[in-house]
A = this chain, B = another copy of it.
Amino acid sequence: MDSLGDTVKKLREENELPLRTVAAFLDIDQALLSKIERGHRKPTREQVVKLASYFKVKENDLLIAWLSDKLVNELEDEKVALKALQVAEEKVKYISKHKKSR
């Protein structure tokens, strides 16, 4: 049940890299990367993509972790969170079934 931040921190530590190095690759301040790892800030999509290529892990895996974090975050303390997720799932299925071209 890892958040994206946990995953990134693990990857960075496995590779024994300081924040500085990875942050430089992402072209952001190391303070920001620290916050991202601890879940105090949300990275951008581009940053997630860059991280996947940097650590050579599947882009989709990181994107799923990132998106699901965002969804959870959006639902915060809503009591109907689960129901909303289920309805959203139906809607997404419906849309993907009915979408033309786009």
CB neighbours of A75 from chain B (8 A): 67, 71, 88, 92
CB neighbours of A70 from chain B (8 A): 74
A82 within 8 A of B: yes
Closest to A82 in B: B92
The majority secondary structure among interface residues of chain A is helix
The reply to whether A88 and B68 contact each other, CB–CB distance below 8 Å, is: yes
Number of residues on chain A facing chain B (CB within 8 A): 34
- Excluding A1-B91, A68-B88, 14 further A-B contacts by CB distance (< 8 Å) are A1-B94, A60-B79, A60-B83, A63-B78, A67-B80, A67-B81, A68-B87, A68-B91, A71-B75, A72-B88, A75-B92, A82-B89, A82-B96, A85-B92
In the complex, 15 of the A-B residue pairs with CB atoms within 8 angstroms, ordered by the A residue number, are A60-B83, A64-B84, A65-B87, A67-B88, A68-B84, A71-B74, A71-B84, A72-B88, A72-B92, A74-B74, A77-B102, A81-B96, A82-B96, A85-B85, A89-B89
